[in-house]
Structure 1
Amino acid sequence: MAVFDTPVATHLLQFATTLGFRVALAEPDLTGTRIDGDTDIVVTDHDRPELGAVLRDALNSPARWIGVMGNMRHAGPHVAALRALDVPDDEIARVHRPVGLNIGSKTPAEIALATLAGLIADRNNRPGGPFEQRP
């Protein structure tokens, strides 16, 4: 599931469909979306005012994986947004940032490709998934 209608989300949903994923776009929130234990949630815009509420709702869902796009050289705004909503730190730690493989992505299509590759690696228990940080 991609959250927020962005150029990256457009490519993410297109590529994911081609790969056989069940896809959904949530905009501006998760209301009415079907989330189960196989759902991966990728928030594609970390500057939206709804960020905290969307992530809080995602953390309260049975989603398998939750991540926010962003540059690892900058503090994630999701932390402050979730703390302002009294979300405990152990729950905040479940939100992954950055997401995807570090392939030097620049364009929305490249970012979407790297994100999906990371999710596939994680689902297949392979190294290089979204959790592996490289210097």
Structure 2
Amino acid sequence: MSDGMGPRRLVVVFESPVAEAMLRLAVEVGFQAVLVEPDETRLQGTPRPHGDLFVHDLDAAHLDDSTDVVLSDHHRAEIGEVLKEALAKNTRWIGILGKPTIEGPHVQMLRDLDVPEDQIARVHRPIGLNIGAKTPAEIAIATLAGLIADRNDRPGGTTF
């Protein structure tokens, strides 16, 4: 499936229950789904199937202008470095999960890495549609619905 720019790709960074649900559902709505888990020690045993591809770094995920990147954990120490690398690529969209009522820790992490404010502003947070999602599957559905709305230039009800 293509939107004119190439295959639709969703790169979810960090193994988590939300990532698992998001990647499983992403395939059903036409995304090539990629899981990036930079910390190999976080995977216990053989990882379960997650979409189309599993890699340990963003370079192997082949980010381009038809790629949406979602960080599925807002407490990881690697957030700043991962976002800085994603921002340096020509990605279509970048976002990170988190509560809309507080500034995400990614902002200070990126400032500490001397990332310019206009680049920090490219990182969307909150992400997804405001449906009151609580469970990992609900968060995945809300996030994917928001990405689809954004890709289709629709408002999608993202006001929080």
> What CA deviation, in whole Å up to 9, does each residue of 1:13-43 have, x standing for no partner?
0000111211100111424221110000000
With CA pairs under 8 Å and 6+ residues apart, which has the higher RCO, 1 or 2? 1
Q: Which runs of 4+ in 1 moved over 6 A?
A: none
Shift of 1:118: 0.3
Inter-partner Cα distance in structure 2 for 1:115 and 1:43? 11
Matched, 1:10 2:23: no
SS in 2 for 1:24: strand
Q: TM-score, normalised by structure 1?
A: 0.94
Whether 2:33 is the aligned partner of 1:23: answer yes
Letter in 1 for 2:143: T
Q: How does 1:97-112 map to 2 (within 5 A)?
A: 97-112=125-140
Q: 3-state DSSP class of the match of 2:139?
A: helix
Within the candidate set 83, 96, 99, 2:124 is matched to 96
Aligned-CA RMSD value: 1.0
Cα deviation, 1:67-114, whole Å, max 9, x if unaligned, reads 000001111100000001000101000000000000000000000000
SS state at 1:82 partner? helix
Give the TM-score normalised by structure 2.
Answer: 0.80
Where in structure 2 are the equivalents of 1:1-135 lying within 5 Å?
1-28=11-38, 29-128=57-156, 132-134=158-160
Matching residue's letter, 1:17: V
Larger radius of gyration: 2
Q: AA paired with 2:18?
A: V
1:39-84 Cα offsets, whole Å, 9 max, x none, are 0000000100000000000000111000000001111100000001
Number of residue-to-residue matches in the alignment: 132
Cα offset, 1:133, TM superposition: 2.2
Q: How many angstroms apart in 2 are the aligned matches of 1:89 and 1:47?
A: 21
